[in-house]
């Protein structure tokens, strides 16, 4: 078994981002909107703020309690779209249930859409055109596979979970890398026959121990995107790590696998949007 160390790869991505940022007099601006009560989101957002500050970015976090209205978020998005100091806008998902998530995503200027969630960016990605930004977790996973020189082209890759945040954009990116992609989900029949035949399995469901040892063929690459907090406080992925680690060719731990790569990609995307916007002004 070879352990994939996401923390190390993320660190080297962040070092390069920091170095590139130093070249500029102006600094990239990242605005984050947090409008939910989810503990995991709060942890993510705090960590995004800490890391963006450590890179010298100007970050602003807008935190809302559950009395926030759709109108209030819409006017904030308009304001951020117009603000030249803000290069990147992130709306942490999920939002409070009473808010219309899709309407909010579609109001973000696609040129400032650091998550690549706007239909313009999703559409460009699926057409094989360059989006302004590529979704952070899928981008981080591809970087992780490449950092470990894991072959993607021609390989059978099984993606489990069809979310707009991970499964769907990841399938598009892997297709662009010439993988043969199967996208499985909660209605998929006989998941085990698919996992047994995959060269690479990427699970993003949030169901602890969905992937068990009997489902894995020796040498398979196993990437775990799931992250669930147990009642004990322990963070676990979708994969039964202890039982699978000696069967898999490569495996990511939770935490310390994909998670740090998501944040590293977010910082890289913020810098890229800043560079694109400065270039347009020249």
Residues serving a catalytic function are 48, 92, 115
Residue 262 binds ligand GUN, judged by CB under 6 A: yes
Shortest distance, position 266 Cβ to ligand GUN, whole Å: 7
Shortest distance, position 258 Cβ to ligand GUN, whole Å: 11
Residue 269 binds ligand GUN, judged by CB under 6 A: no
Residue 92 binds ligand GUN, judged by CB under 6 A: yes
Footprint (CB under 6 A) of ligand GUN, residues 24-53: none
From residue 256, give the alpha-carbon distance in Å to each of 9, 41, 93, 241: 10, 17, 21, 13
* Residue 34 vs 244, nearer CB to ligand GUN: 34
Shortest distance, position 126 Cβ to ligand GUN, whole Å: 18
Considering only residues 109, 113, 115, 272, which one is a binding residue for ligand GUN as defined by CB under 6 A? Answer: 115
| Site size for ligand GUN (CB under 6 A) | 9
* Residue 162 vs 215, nearer CB to ligand GUN: 162
Binding window for ligand GUN (CB under 6 A); candidates: 65-73, 88-96, 177-185, 199-207: 88-96
Shortest distance, position 193 Cβ to ligand GUN, whole Å: 30
State the residue number with the nearest CB to ligand GUN.
93
* Residue 199 vs 237, nearer CB to ligand GUN: 237
Residue 211 binds ligand GUN, judged by CB under 6 A: no
Shortest distance, position 97 Cβ to ligand GUN, whole Å: 15
Phi, psi torsion values for 135, nearest 5 degrees: -45, 135
The span from the CA of 8 to the CA of 260, in Å, is 9
Output the DSSP codes for the chain: -EE--HHHHHHHHHHHHHHHHHT-SS--EEEEEE-S--HHHHHHHHHHHHHHHHTT-EEEEEE--TT--HHHHHHHHHHHHH-TT--EEEE-SSPPTTS-HHHHHHHS-GGGBTT--SHHHHHHHHTTPPPSS--HHHHHHHHHHHHTT---TT-EEEEE---TTTHHHHHHHHHHTT-EEEEE-TT-S-HHHHHHH-SEEEE-S--TT-B-GGG--TT-EEEE---EE-TTS-EE-SB-HHHHTTT-SEE--SSSSHHHHHHHHHHHHHHHHHHHHHHHH-
In the stretch 133-172, what mask flags binding to ligand GUN with x, by CB under 6 A? ---xx---------------------------x-------
Considering only residues 61, 74, 93, 247, which one is a binding residue for ligand GUN as defined by CB under 6 A? Answer: 93
- Where along the sequence are the contacts to ligand GUN (CB under 6 A)? 90-93, 115, 136-137, 165, 262
């Amino acid at each position: 078994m070879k352990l994939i160390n996401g923390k190390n790869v993320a660190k080297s991505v962040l070092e390069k981002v920091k170095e590139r940022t130093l070249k500029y007099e102006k600094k990239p601006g990242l605005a984050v909107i947090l409008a939910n009560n989810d503990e995991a989101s709060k942890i993510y957002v705090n960590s995004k703020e800490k890391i963006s500050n450590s890179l010298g970015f100007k970050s602003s976090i807008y935190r809302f309690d559950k009395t926030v209205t759709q109108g209030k978020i819409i006017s904030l998005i308009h304001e951020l779209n117009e603000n030249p100091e803000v290069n990147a806008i992130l709306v942490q998902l999920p939002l409070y249930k009473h808010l219309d998530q899709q309407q909010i995503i579609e109001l973000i200027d696609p040129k400032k859409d650091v998550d690549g969630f706007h239909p313009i960016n999703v559409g460009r990605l699926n057409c094989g055109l360059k989006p302004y930004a590529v979704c952070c977790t899928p981008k981080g996973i591809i970087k992780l596979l490449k950092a470990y020189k894991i072959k993607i082209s021609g390989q059978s890759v099984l993606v489990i979970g069809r979310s707009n945040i991970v499964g769907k954009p990841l399938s598009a990116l892997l297709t662009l890398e010439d993988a043969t992609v199967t996208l499985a989900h909660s209605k998929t029949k006989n998941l085990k026959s698919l996992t047994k035949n995959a060269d690479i399995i990427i699970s993003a469901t949030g169901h602890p121990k969905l992937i068990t040892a009997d489902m894995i063929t020796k040498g398979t690459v196993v990437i775990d995107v799931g992250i669930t907090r147990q009642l004990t406080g322990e963070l676990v992925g979708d994969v039964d790590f202890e039982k699978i680690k000696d069967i898999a060719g490569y495996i990511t731990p939770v935490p310390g696998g994909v998670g740090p790569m998501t944040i590293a990609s977010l910082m890289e995307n913020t810098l890229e949007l800043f560079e694109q916007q400065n270039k347009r002004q020249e």
